[in-house]
Structure 1
C-alpha cells in the first residue's frame, strides 16, 4: 500500500505548522495508520541574520510558512484524519480534491533524494546514455556528486569539448 503514497501539501493557520505535525503524528500512531501516512514534514532552512548591532546569528526558518507536507496514501480515512486536525484549513488542490506533488517538485524541494551510484572515476572512458549527446563517448574530467554533475571531455567534429551532464546520464564504456 505504501508504494502508492504521494506527497500532499496541507494548508494550516500561520504558526500552527508544528502543532499540526505533532497532532497528525499522534492520530496516526493512535489509530495504527503508520502504513498509510508515512512522513510529515515542516521544511526548515537555516538563515544567517544580521542583528542591529552588526552581529550575525543563525536562525531556523520555515521554508513554506502556513504549509505542512505529508507523504500519505490518499483514502477517505486519511483525508478525514488530516482534514479534521485543529489548525488545518485544507489540502492544496481544487475543491475537495487534493492534488499530489509531482516527483520533480518533491526532488526540487529536497524532500526525497534519489541516490545515484557512480560507477566511474575521473579519467574513465564513459558513454553518454541520455540527452542530446546520447551515444557519444568521452573521458570523465570532474565529478560533483553534491550537484549531481559530471564533466566529460567529448570529441565532437574533431575537437575536444567539455560537456556538463547529470551523474545518471553517463555510464562506464564497455
Structure 2
C-alpha cells in the first residue's frame, strides 16, 4: 500500500471517529495532505470505498491484536478488549463501530455489509472469551453469552460517546462496572 493511500485511510478514520462519516469530505483530507481531490479519487473512486478501507483496517488491527491474546486468561482478554476503548478515549475518539453505527441508515449498502461483518467478528470474539470465562468459573452471569457480549460492547461504545457530552468519566465508570459484574 502506498504511503499516500495509508495516510488517506488514517485521516479518514480519524475524521469518522471524531466527526462522523457524513461530516467530512475528500476536500478535508486533500487539504490536510496538501493534495488534490483527484489524488484521493485515484485510490478511492467513491467515498464508500474509503469507508470500507477504514472498516477493513480496523478488522485487520482487531484480528492482529486478538491473535496475540490467545494465551491470556478470560479476565485478561476482557481487560485487553477494554483497553481498545481506553485508547480511543485517550485519542478523543469514539470507536469506529459507534461512529459508523450512528449513521448506519445513511451508509451505502456495501459499507453497511462491511460494518455488519466487522461487528460480527468482534461480537464472536467477545462471546468466545465470555464462554471461556464461564467454563473456567472466572465469570458469573445469568444471561446468555450473546446477551453479555451485547452488554459489554454497547456499554463500552456508548461510554465513549457519553464522555464527549459529560464532564465526568463515564468510560471509567463503565470499565469498573464491567469488571465488577464479570
Q: Same fold (TM over 0.5)?
A: no
RCO (CA 8 Å, sep 6+): is it higher in 1 or 2? 2
- Relative to the length of structure 1, the TM-score reads 0.25
- Relative to the length of structure 2, the TM-score reads 0.24
Higher helix share: 2
